[in-house]
Amino acid sequence: MKIGRLGRMMGVAWAAGALSMYAGDTPAEGVLVASGHPEYPPFMWQEGGKIVGVGPEIMAMAFARLGVKVDAIAVGPWDKVVKDACEGRIDGVVALFMTDERVKFLDYSIPFAQDPVAIFVSKDRGFPYGSWKDLIGKRGTSTIGDSYGQTFDDFINAKLKVKRLRTVEGNFRDLLNGQADYFIYSMYAGLLGSHKAGVADRVTFLKPFAASENWYLAVSKKSPYAKYVPEINKILAGLAQDGTVAKLTTRYLEYYEQHVLQRVQRLVEEGIAYYRQHGSAAAFVEFNKPNGQFSRGDLYLFAIDLNGKCLAHGAKAELIGTDMLDQADVDGKKFVKEFVNVAKTKGEGWVDYKWPYKQTGEVEPKISYVRRIDGTDLFVGCGFYVSK
């Protein structure tokens, strides 16, 4: 399924200016500091040091009516987000499912949206599925810290063997490598994540959905803003009834695809067009310029031939001319071999790995798009850092 169809599934069209339609001019009483899952689009994900998506926007709209500003910041992995909120280090969470344990520490709003929980499988290794019991005895995987509603969580803990991994890409990798039979995750976030990981054509999800869970806002019981939850509930009811939530879901599905994934692909396409127009020598000189036309913030181009030799690199000039075929990241993953395999077999695709961030030198999770230049034995690539 293409991402664009996800928006149409919501049955609404985006109205210009809806993102700020409830941002009033009332003087702010203070700033509510919230956070959310770094990788759960369209409801929440990390961009730079902020959490963006439907959840942060809904929370900001609702609290703005009460004169409170919301600052949705990234604080780390999801398990840390929930722990920080429960212990009062942040005021709230922009979107989450309800569990018995969390309600001890968090004041929940009424639900503002629903999210189908899907069972993702490899298209080559699907299996008959009609209910949760069909997962018993199979190897499952999911993301660390995620909950899928108390009832399904209890079943997972009691009956299933589910390994927990940090990233969506890691879960899809285990699924496709045969190390897992299924991957439990949000349908929306899973479909978007499969495109981001370059495996959308190799995975699918089973019907019926494992669950359809409600999304809530939550405020720490230790936060001074917990007193606002009853008023927030009245505002949320109106936002759901007038279609605002559905419109935001459509908007952020489209935004995520366009701004987080496509700009990487566009830069590669521009680089290939420049190569065709000006030739390899001129193109590689341009790709190598740290502040040239193909260096845009954290994004830069690299070119590698099908034997693994680096021909151009916009961030690490010392790699030019070296054999990178056996280059491995800190986890031992030979990602350049994966680049080459993708370029040879598919012509284009996405590969996840870890690589030093050019601004700090610190190793960060990265996902790169590579595309072979037709009629040549080389490919051009560009990647983005998941946490930046």
According to the 3-state scheme, what is the secondary structure of the chain?
CCHHHHHHHCCCCCCCCHHHCCCCCCCCCEEEEEECCCEECCCEEEECCEEECHHHHHHHHHHHCCCEEEEEECCCCHHHHHHHHHCCCCCEEEEECCCCCHHHCEEECCCCEEEEEEEEEECCCCCCCCCHHHHCCCEEEEECCCCCCHHHHHHHHHHCEEEEECCHHHHHHHHHCCCCCEEEEEHHHHHHHHHHCCCCCCEEEEEEEEEEEEEEEEEECCCHHHHHHHHHHHHHHHHHHCCHHHHHHHHHHHHHHHHHHHHHHHHHHHHHHHHHHHCHHHHHHHHHCCCCCCCECCECCEEEECCCEEEEECCCHHHCCCECCCCCCCCCCCHHHHHHHHHHHCCEEEEEEEEECCCCCCEEEEEEEEEECCCCCEEEEEEEECCC
Query: How far lies 306's CA from each of 18, 53, 199, 321, 385, in Å?
Result: 47, 39, 21, 13, 24
Residue 100 and residue 218 in one domain: yes
* 139 inside domain: yes
Residue 342 and residue 375 in one domain: yes
Residue 206 and residue 228 in one domain: no
- The encoded tokens of residue 245 equal 């939530």
CATH at residue 380 = 3.30.450.20
Residue 105 and residue 222 in one domain: yes
Tally of domains within the chain: 3
Note the pLDDT of residue 364: 80
Residue 13 and residue 92 in one domain: yes
Query: How far lies 253's CA from each of 18, 36, 45, 214, 258, in Å?
Result: 15, 17, 11, 18, 9
Note the pLDDT of residue 20: 32
Note the pLDDT of residue 234: 96
CATH at residue 150 = 3.40.190.10
Residue 219 and residue 102 in one domain: yes
Residue 95 and residue 122 in one domain: no
Residue 20 and residue 105 in one domain: yes
* 263 inside domain: no
Residue 182 and residue 229 in one domain: no
* 122 inside domain: yes
Note the pLDDT of residue 250: 86
Residue 103 and residue 222 in one domain: yes
Q: Tens digit of pLDDT per residue, the chain (388 long)?
A: 344 444 433 332 222 233 333 333 333 468 999 999 987 888 998 877 899 999 999 999 999 999 999 999 999 889 999 999 999 999 999 999 999 999 999 999 999 998 899 999 999 999 999 999 999 999 999 999 888 888 999 999 999 999 999 888 889 999 999 999 999 999 988 988 887 777 888 999 999 999 988 999 999 999 999 999 999 999 999 999 999 998 998 888 888 767 767 778 889 999 999 999 999 999 999 999 987 888 876 789 999 999 999 999 998 999 999 999 999 998 899 999 999 999 999 999 989 888 887 667 788 888 899 999 999 999 999 998 765 5
End-to-end CA distance of the chain: give it in Å, rounded. Answer: 27
Residue 67 and residue 150 in one domain: no
Q: Which domain holds residue 319?
A: 279-385
* 264 inside domain: no
* 266 inside domain: no
Note the pLDDT of residue 359: 65
* 183 inside domain: yes
Note the pLDDT of residue 5: 42
Q: Which of 186, 213, 240 is the last residue of a domain?
A: 213
Report yes or no: 272 and 371 within 8 Å, Cβ to Cβ: yes
Q: What is the pTM of this model?
A: 0.59
Query: How far lies 305's CA from each of 79, 289, 315, 339, in Å?
Result: 41, 19, 18, 10
Q: What span, in angstroms and rounded, lies between the C-alpha atoms of 216 and 372?
A: 44
* 258 inside domain: no
* 265 inside domain: no
Residue 222 and residue 292 in one domain: no
